[in-house]
Amino acid sequence: SANKSKAFAKFKIVFIGNQAVGKTSIIARFVYEQIPQQHQPTIGIDFLSKCIQVDNKTVRLQLWDTAGQERFRSLIPSYIRDSHAAVLCYDVSNAQTFIDIKQWLEYVREERGSDVLGVLIANKIDIEDRAVTTEEGEKFAKEQDLLYYEVSAKEGTNVQSTFKNLALKLLGPI
Ligand code: GDP
Ligand code: MG
């Protein structure tokens, strides 16, 4: 019915990960279909939102960006508290950003346990000289019960489909 298609879900999705892994770029690629020209380390926390159509429903995704700097880690608990999904991002050309995912995940688990959809995003797959393989990312995601996606914010690869898939997961079984 017409009523059914007007069902309107809203989800808060928080982005976490080291500085310069591409969190802001992924969000900007999804929302504006382009990425910012210059790297601007995010100050504090900000969000953008976008509506998409999935499964004959309109879904509003509210995307919360963060800075990866140490001084902002104290902010994590407050903004992760009422989130529906935590998106942990790393840069496939930088091994340390993958190693540090463990710590970021710990912050999320401390605050929310498994009461939040956990997502792992491997960004910058356009870079040929990878330091972290697909297999390593997938293995970690499987062990930690996280969804796993590989994207390039720079080229736009898999970005729209990742958010669409995420929205479907958040809507849950039909
Ligand atoms: P944030 O600190 O996690 O928000 O990272 P930014 O979005 O500011 O990106 C950091 C740098 O990585 C910028 O110079 C971006 O242009 C670059 N970058 C982001 N995504 C990609 C990507 O998919 N591929 C490549 N090659 N560079 C990217
Ligand atoms: Mg940023």
Tell me, using a 6 A CB cutoff, whether residue 22 lines ligand 1: yes
Are the C-beta atoms of residues 47 and 28 closer than 8 Å to each other?
A: no
For residue 45, how far is its CA from the centre of ligand 2 (angstroms)? 9
Are the C-beta atoms of residues 155 and 126 closer than 8 Å to each other?
A: yes
**pLDDT score, position 13:** 96
Tell me, using a 6 A CB cutoff, whether residue 123 lines ligand 1: yes
**Which tokens hold the place of 62?**
């509210």
Q: What is the tens place of the pLDDT at every residue in 114-131?
A: 889 999 999 999 999 999
Q: Which atom of ligand 1 is nearest to the CA of 127?
A: 26
Band of residue 27 on the pLDDT scale cut at 50, 70, 90:
very high
What is the model's pTM?
0.92
Are the C-beta atoms of residues 105 and 114 closer than 8 Å to each other?
A: no
Q: Which residue's alpha carbon is at the smallest distance from atom 2 of ligand 1? A: 20
**pLDDT score, position 144:** 97
Please say if the pLDDT value at position 6 is more than 70.
no
Q: Which ligand is nearest to the CA of 42?
A: 2
Tell me, using a 6 A CB cutoff, whether residue 29 lines ligand 1: no
In this structure, of 81-85, 123-127, 158-162, the range with the lowest mean pLDDT score is 81-85
**pLDDT score, position 69:** 62
Share of the chain above pLDDT 90, in %: 69
| Mean pLDDT of the region 4-13 | 77
Please say if the pLDDT value at position 132 is more than 50.
yes
Are the C-beta atoms of residues 81 and 110 closer than 8 Å to each other?
A: no
Please say if the pLDDT value at position 2 is more than 60.
no
Q: Which of 19, 38, 39, 92 to mutate to test the pocket of ligand 1 (most atoms within 8 A of CB)?
A: 39
Q: What is the tens place of the pLDDT at every residue in 91-116?
A: 999 999 999 999 999 999 999 888 89
The complex's ipTM? 0.99
